[in-house]
Amino acid sequence: MPPSIRSALVTFIGILVLFGGLAHAPAQSATPLNAENSDPRKLGWMTGFPPPPEKLIMQPESDYFSFPKLRWTVCHIRELLPTRQVSRGIGSPIPLTSAIDDGIDAVRFTPLGGNEPMTWTESLSANYTDGILIIHKGRVVYERYFGCLDETGKHAAMSMTKSLTGLLAEILVAEERLDDTAKVAAIIPELSRSAFGSATVRQVMDMTTALDYSEDYADPKADIWAYSTAASPLPKPQGYEGPNGYFEYLQTVKQNGVHGKAFGYRTINTDALGWIVSRVTGRNLAELLSERIWSRMGAEQDAYMTVDSKGTPFAGGGLDP
């Protein structure tokens, strides 16, 4: 099969598990399984008719994003969470020409912060890579798949979703449909009492908002976990009285400091941006992504976005291309 756009934007996937998955998973032991021994096929996750209880990854258990189950989950998001379609449209896919360079595997380099050189092939294993496709001057020069992934599969894009949400916002700014100097409260009155209300759209886009919010995934008391509970599409725990959904949670975020002073990586900025983009266009993010990008780039397959209990797409990390 000639190379083409594999499951759309498969170029995202090369370092996905390391930076978009493991970095967001709960803390693991000091000596986790290596890439080969944590391969979902080797571990037998969800295999059998039915799978034995010890091999199940399913709801309502909440450990499916913990390692090593994570390596199966990132290829099977739609079996665990509800999603919205990002349609590729009805046009033909755009094929890519191939010029595979077998010499890439032997390239040696010293990783940033490392002491010992490694080959490109060794780096893929060290990064728990599930798939990677390299395009150079319009041609596919490298393509490999591991673990749960193959050329027909899907893989959660995790926080790389933020790049597409930001791109949609930049498109609207360029079209003068979105004023990036405007205060967020002027566009989303519901956020007027939150930290976002006094920030500009550009400060949200650049993540220079001053938020009283922690995204330390290693801290079980960090705000990210309260946010995750609010955003979950599953029934809330008995007695839960907190916000329900992304938009309700965003309204509770308080300010800490002065906007525009410093960059701080916080996923909730991108979800606020997703709300802004949807309010300005009158379209939910999945529809807009299809209309402005996915249906125009010649993707082979539809993508999907995970949603909260109210059907709001997860702008900060929900893309499943």
Residue 131 and residue 296: Cα distance in Å, rounded?
24
Q: Provide, rounded to the nearest whole percent, the portion of the chain with pLDDT above 70.
A: 91
Within 13 Å, how many C-alpha atoms sit on residue 224's CB side?
Answer: 17
**CA 148, CA 131: separation in Å to the nearest integer?**
9
- Ordered by where they begin, the domains of the chain are 10-145 (no CATH), 159-298 (3.40.710.10)
Look at the alpha carbons of 220, 222, 224, 228 in this order and tell me if their dihedral is positive or negative: positive
Backbone angles phi, psi at 174, to 5 degrees: -65, -30
pLDDT tens-place string over residues 143-202: 999 999 999 999 999 999 999 999 999 999 999 999 999 999 999 999 999 999 999 999
Q: Which of 194, 217, 177 is nearest to 269 (CA)?
A: 194
CA distance 129 to 110: 18
Q: Which SS3 state, helix, strand or coil, does residue 161 take?
A: helix
Provide CB contacts within 8 A for 308, sequence distance 6+.
Answer: 230, 231, 232, 233, 244, 245, 246, 314
Beta-bridge mates of residue 119: 108
CB atoms within 10 A of CB 92: 8
- The pTM is what? 0.87
CA atoms of 252 and 191, how far apart (whole Å):
9
> Which token pair is 321?
């291309």
Closest CA to 271 of 218, 236, 227: 227
Q: Distances from the Cα of 13 to the Cαs of 131, 144, 150, 159, 214, in angstroms?
A: 5, 10, 11, 12, 27
Chunk the chain into consecutive blocks of 10 residues (it has 321) and report each block's average pLDDT, rounded to whole numbers.
Answer: 36 34 43 93 96 94 91 96 96 91 95 94 96 94 96 95 98 98 98 98 98 95 96 92 97 98 97 98 97 95 97 98 95
